[in-house]
Amino acid sequence: MAETLKRLRRRVRSVINVRQITRAMEMVAAAKLRRTQGILKAGRPYARKLQELLGRLAASEAASAHPLFEPREAGRTTLVVFASDRGLCGAFNSNLFSAAERYALERGREGLELYCVGRKSLAYFSKRGWPICGSMTDFSGNIDLERSNRLGAELKERYLAGHTDEVLLLYSAFVSTARFRPAVERFLNLEREALMSGAADRRPDRRAAIDYIFEPSVREVFDSLVPRYLQAKIYITFAEQLTSEHSARMLAMHSATENCQELRDSLTLRLNKARQASITKELLDIVGGAEALRG
């Protein structure tokens, strides 16, 4: 009985310590979530406006002559899979990996290569023998503009050099704190129809007839907008991914904290029952001894 009480007390202390850790991790994730969510909310209008302007210019001669608008047969595809550098975020990474495997199953593995962003993505696919053309890790849960621009430039160079015929981004799109879903979007090549339809969907009807005067010329404005659009696309993708990651980790740690509290209550109840049984047994032994002395 003494050994049982000692073991139960040790387990209660362990659960309390784990609860303190998960609670601290939940608070850290919540702080990071607020920061990245603010960046995401501030960046979305900028990215939408760039797409709207680029969509207006997509039918011009400058677009038809631009190499990034050149249509190609999708023989070689680069799928950029975004994942986290760290775990303890529930099924966040496994949902992304399942989405990548579903896409590969629908498309076929031939001609498909991966660019892994995040340690978990690189570790998962390298162990399973997937063709990996590059990787970028160690973001520590923070949005890095310099590395984001570097990734966009590297993917653009691979496309222009002919190493791939299309570049797709697979990431977790942030909908709300409790909802985020894997999404696959085209990065390269740029499609006129997609840009123009996206711009039309986001533009109010009352502004549909508005036209712009471009200075110094349509071509120069177009050549300036394309790299900015690609940089904004990658940056917003990072913001969506990291916001979803921090939200998933906050929810996972909140659930773990509640489970620790329930386990602590259950163990405390068992400990109290065991202690009460021990006290009762000792009292019965004392009473029994006293009765024996009287007799």
Cα 241 to chain centroid distance, Å, stands at 4
> Is-catalytic flag, 89?
yes
Are the C-beta atoms of 107 and 77 separated by less than 8 Å?
Answer: yes
Contacts of 145 (CB under 8 A, 6+ apart): 235
Given 89, 116, 133, 260, which residue is catalytic? 89
Give the helix ranges, DSSP H, for 161-217. 192-202
Give the pair of three-digit tokens for residue 30.
């919540």
Question: DSSP E strands: which ranges in the chain?
Answer: 77-82, 112-117, 132-136, 166-176, 179-188
Helix 92-107 and helix 119-127: axis angle, to 10°? Answer: 50
- Residues identified as active-site: 89
